[in-house]
Amino acid sequence: MAKLTYHGHATCSIETDEGTHLVIDPFFGDNPVCEVAVDDVDADFILITHGHFDHIADAIPLAERTGATIIATFEVASFLEEKGLKTSPHHIGGGVHYPFGYVKLTPALHGGIVQLPGGEAFTSVPAGILINLSSGQRFHHAGDTALISDMQLLKGQVDVAMIPIGDRFTMGPADAVRAIEFIEPKVVIPIHYNTWLPIEQDAGAFRSAVGDLAHVEIMAPGATYEF
């Protein structure tokens, strides 16, 4: 089984059945709810949904220490390649086969500035990340996004979905419930909430609102989930 560890906010890591380590949206040092430092994390591949600081802050130090390949949109990958890092650029709708499985970037509706020093010229569209692991599990990280009708195209393709519920900067709980109706995942893990006061939400109330649509796995930072 794959092992997912939630690090708070929108950051998670996955250890696949074969032992490959994936890190999504690395935000450790300045993440007020994170339980580990970037130096404590293993990575073979780093996947980035978009360039906002709270999703990319620790991509460079993590990649420099581990030698991991960074998977991101073309513009974000281009910026990081200029920093001497190994990248694998994608764009929305495009997928690539990797040793651990197939990764496809999906549409998201949000901002795209690259909030790292020197990254101002590398704006990009945001993305969600759909991963079909070689061992058969199907995982989707929605990234930062509003509710969009394109999510209906994911119906029947996702077992475990990480979906933002914080409102204000992403969709809130009510729209997240509609996203679950669109996608029909088996398991939903709410993310991008309770990191700071402006995105405070009641995850238990969200789980009640979801009802029988999916199993809602509420994860505290540092918690793990096998799927």
C-alpha to C-alpha distance for 180 and 220, rounded to whole angstroms: 21
The owner of tokens 């690259």 is 114
Residue 122 has pLDDT above 90, yes or no: no
Contact present, 52 and 111 (Cβ < 8 Å): yes
Q: Residue 206 pLDDT > 90, yes or no?
A: yes
Cα separation, 91 vs 194, in Å, equals: 30
Which pLDDT tens digit goes with each residue over 157-185?
999 999 999 999 999 999 999 999 999 99
Whole-number mean pLDDT of the chain?
Answer: 98
pLDDT tops 90 at residue 145: yes
Q: Which residues pair with 93 in a beta bridge?
A: none
Distance CA 85, CA 62 (A): 10
pLDDT of residue 170: 98
Residue 112 phi/psi, 5° resolution? -140, 10
The ranges assigned to domains in the chain are 3-226
Beta carbons within 10 angstroms of residue 40's beta carbon: 8
pLDDT at position 121:
81
Nearest to 189 by CA among 5, 2, 55: 5
Q: What is the pTM of this model?
A: 0.98
Least confidently predicted of 50-64, 112-126, 200-214: 112-126
CATH for the stretch 3-226 = 3.60.15.10
The percentage of the chain sitting over the pLDDT mark of 70, rounded to a whole number, equals 100
In the chain, the amino acid numbered 131 is I
For tokens 């500035």, the residue is 113
